């Protein structure tokens, strides 16, 4: 049987780990300017809409999936870099 002290210790360790993870996540999100990423994505969409079949391919296979991930609330460093790597 696990002692009450050991259960409390494990509980507080988990709380501390969650707190540290949340702090790191907040630091990453402050470094990444999501407004800038959204603007870049909108501009890219407008630019590639003008092109014929090549633009259609870029929109379908690159821009729309990124826009969908952003719209669903994903805010990862990988997504930010993927958006910002779109050439205009």
Instruction: Convert the pLDDT of each residue in 14-51 to its tens digit.
Output: 766 776 767 776 666 667 888 999 999 999 999 999 98
Residues in CB range of 47: below 8 A, 6 or more apart: 55, 88
DSSP state of 70: H
Task: State the Cα–Cα distance between residues 11 and 5, nearest whole angstrom.
Answer: 10
Residue 61: per-residue pLDDT: 95
- Which pLDDT band holds residue 13 (cuts at 50, 70, 90)? low
Average pLDDT of the chain is: 83
**What is the C-alpha R_g of the chain?**
20
Two structure tokens written together for 21: 């993870």
Between 54 and 82, residue with greater pLDDT: 82
CA distances from 54 to 22, 41, 44 (A): 41, 17, 13
**Percentage above 90 pLDDT, the chain:** 49
């Amino acid at each position: 049987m696990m002692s009450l002290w050991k259960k409390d210790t494990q509980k507080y360790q988990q709380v501390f780990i969650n707190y540290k993870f949340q702090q790191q996540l907040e630091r990453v999100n402050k470094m990444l300017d999501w407004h800038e990423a959204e603007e870049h994505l909108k501009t890219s969409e407008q630019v590639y809409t003008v092109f014929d079949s090549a633009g259609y391919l870029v929109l379908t296979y690159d821009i729309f999936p990124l826009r969908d991930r952003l719209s669903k609330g994903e805010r990862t460093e990988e997504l930010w870099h993927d958006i910002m790597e779109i050439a205009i």
